Structure 1
Amino acid sequence: MFILKRQDVEITSIPHPKRDQQIPILNYQGQTFRLINVFQAEQAEEARAFWRDLTDNHGKACVLLEEPERYSVWGKIRLEQLSSEDSKEGEAVATAYIQGCLLLIQAVYFDVEDLLGNRQAKSFYKDFSKVLKQRNFPNTDSPDAINALLTVDPVKKLQLPSWREVHLYTLLQEVYRLGEEYFGNSNFAEGIDEIIEPMPSSERTQFMAWLNQFPEGKKWAIK
């Protein structure tokens, strides 16, 4: 929708109506946008691809804010939506999507641990934690919560986090990047059919259909 510079916009924060946290809000020409994702200065290409995917493939009204030290993507929102459970932006996504994504991420983590050793597994945990913190993921405010995401069965035992689709897009993109960094190729966590086998058949079908709808997902779907 827009590619803007810092001098073009006003950034403020407002208290979340239901949680003890501040929500960054970008104001531009009478429109308000909520922070979706943050990229480092050297991730310009990834930031533009993420912004373009949301606008072109998912029909979302988004701003890409270019600053010297970072890039950030903001999604249009009405402030009253923040207190409304009817807002699509605020709804948690289908259970199958979260379960499937966590199974893929756990497969990468277990591959790191099995093939590269405990030291690299600890390093992966730190990198994964950094992604969650930088991207403002809810329900990830303790080491135990993060460890559970990497190790506890999301189909039977894990209490699933309240994430939106944009969280899942980000997670798939960032963990894929980490997998390539750790293994030096894209051959990690192969055999997606086997990885998501613990899910019921109907939910596997639902997850795969969703995964094939966007670029970050298709990279995983072909494994």
Structure 2
Amino acid sequence: MESANGYMSQTNPISCTIKPPVPIKIGDHKVEFLTGCHVIDVTFPNVFYVEIGEIHFKNFYTANLTIKVRTRTTEKEGTSTDSKWKTCLNNYQLMPDPHSDTAAEEYFVIGKQHVLFDLINVIAVRIIIRQPSPVWKEFRIEELKFYKASLFIPKEVKLPGWLNDITDNKIKTFDNGPNVEELSKEMQNLMATSQLAKSCSNNSTSIRRYDVDGCYDINLLSYT
């Protein structure tokens, strides 16, 4: 997947374990009140920690969500500790109106521009999804995938047309431009005239016509 700014996501998602959504309830086991809130916990087995660049998922009638992460930090003595849950994305709106089905089944990508801090050294992710509207009996997120930090792939830079005319160390005539050989000769003539003017200036003489009283002296003329 490549975006317009030249960034390309990793093709393979990060291996993870996604637990089933757990509904948050209020009250005892006899009288339960659903809050319209589910919690999804995600862990990353067989790795010490991961770096998350993007989170992909498809919405299914979820109004908004909050994402929390736990990270692993290394102390000065070399020991590692697990941090508390930190909110990296709070009440991110998925549906403009919870009572309407607009964006109810859209695909979403959460990137670095959405979160409050870089998701590095992550050991667990907790996603809290909410749907306050009683219109929808079910809500969830599907196809949840995590990707590493995006790689910057510079776009192909096209060479100017005149550079394409330089092949095999031979300079050809540029399109819509002067002939290089003729231009070189003109530059040599200009340099020669400049050197002559400089020489005459140093000798306190000036460049003038070789004429005497309006007539040329035959001895001053040269033949080629």
Q: TM-score, normalised by structure 1?
A: 0.22
Q: Which has the larger radius of gyration?
A: 2
Higher strand share: 2
Higher helix share: 1
Larger relative contact order, structure 1 or 2 (CA cutoff 8 Å, min sep 6): 2
